[in-house]
């Protein structure tokens, strides 16, 4: 693992120069935040409270080091945080309905040697896991869309609101396609062995659709896709509002 980490750092420095060190530091900071989150939940802190606090910290850590333009940074932060709140509310509503928290039968062999009375809320942990798993794609989409729109404004300061909206949607469509591929490939790569397990052991469709691991993964995937789509629209709307408001103020 240490060799791969060193290779990652060298590759980032070769490609991005000093920015590569900043990006690597951001990744290391995110890892430490997640490790701290795990330790706090293990110490019986409320998973939802510490989860939402650390999710906000992770959003700041993902966006601030990646962007130098303050306008890009502001619009990406606002749109990502708004989507984060929306996803949190959806998770609160959807996860109790799935009843897929905790361990499934496929985990029995690995956990049978451990004490299972850990004293934490597995539904709340599942909510935190689903929320955090969608943050990366949402933050990445907001940065990409925000950077593209503000670059258009920089080169065409007199562009109309209608044309800017259309340009923003076009940028958003391309980023949505990329983000969807990333989420889908990550999903299939992570749960390929589970799929082979279910097929080889001839699980029925009812059993497959009620498998706790699969349900949690699918819910996380769908919320991640929804978050990417919504963050594109919110980023466009926020930048258009900001652009139109400041344009009118400048004209006065």
pLDDT tens profile 156-203:
888 888 888 888 888 888 888 888 888 888 877 777 777 777 777 777
User: Per-residue pLDDT for 252 more than 50?
Assistant: no
Using left for φ > 0, alpha for ψ between -120 and 50, and beta otherwise, residue 44 falls in left
**For residues 206-220, average pLDDT:** 74
Looking at residue 82, its pLDDT comes to 92
H helices present in 99-201, as ranges? 108-111, 122-155, 161-190, 192-200
Q: How far apart are CA 225 and CA 229, in angstroms?
A: 6
Confidence of residue 114 (pLDDT cuts 50, 70, 90): low
Q: How far apart are CA 78 and CA 145, in angstroms?
A: 13
Q: How far apart are CA 11 and CA 33, in angstroms?
A: 24
User: Per-residue pLDDT for 251 more than 50?
Assistant: no
**For residues 122-147, average pLDDT:** 85
Q: How far apart are CA 239 and CA 145, in angstroms?
A: 10
**For residues 110-132, average pLDDT:** 72
Looking at residue 244, its pLDDT comes to 80
**For residues 19-46, average pLDDT:** 85
User: Per-residue pLDDT for 116 more than 70?
Assistant: no
């Amino acid at each position: 693992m240490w060799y791969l980490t060193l290779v990652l750092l060298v590759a980032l420095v070769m490609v991005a120069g000093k920015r590569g060190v900043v990006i690597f530091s951001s990744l290391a900071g995110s890892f430490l935040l997640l490790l701290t989150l795990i330790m706090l939940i293990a110490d019986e802190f409320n998973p939802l409270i510490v989860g939402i606090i650390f999710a906000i910290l992770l959003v700041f850590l993902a966006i601030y080091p990646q962007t130098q333009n303050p306008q890009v940074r502001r619009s990406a932060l606002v749109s990502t945080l708004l989507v984060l709140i929306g996803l949190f509310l959806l998770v609160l509503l959807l996860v109790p309905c799935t009843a897929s928290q905790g361990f499934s039968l496929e985990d029995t062999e690995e956990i049978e040697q451990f004490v299972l009375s850990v004293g934490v809320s597995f539904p709340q942990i599942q909510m935190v896991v689903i929320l955090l798993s969608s943050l990366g794609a949402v933050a990445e989409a907001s940065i990409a869309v925000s950077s593209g729109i503000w670059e258009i404004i920089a080169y065409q300061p007199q562009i109309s609101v209608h044309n800017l909206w259309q340009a923003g949607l076009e940028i958003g469509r391309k980023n949505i396609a990329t983000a969807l591929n990333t989420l889908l490939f990550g999903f299939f790569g992570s749960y390929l062995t589970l799929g082979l397990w279910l097929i080889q052991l001839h699980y029925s469709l009812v059993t497959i659709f009620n498998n706790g691991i699969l349900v949690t993964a699918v819910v996380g995937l769908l919320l991640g896709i929804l978050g990417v789509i919504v963050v594109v629209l919110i980023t466009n709307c926020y930048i258009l509002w900001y652009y139109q408001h400041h344009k009118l103020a400048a004209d006065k």
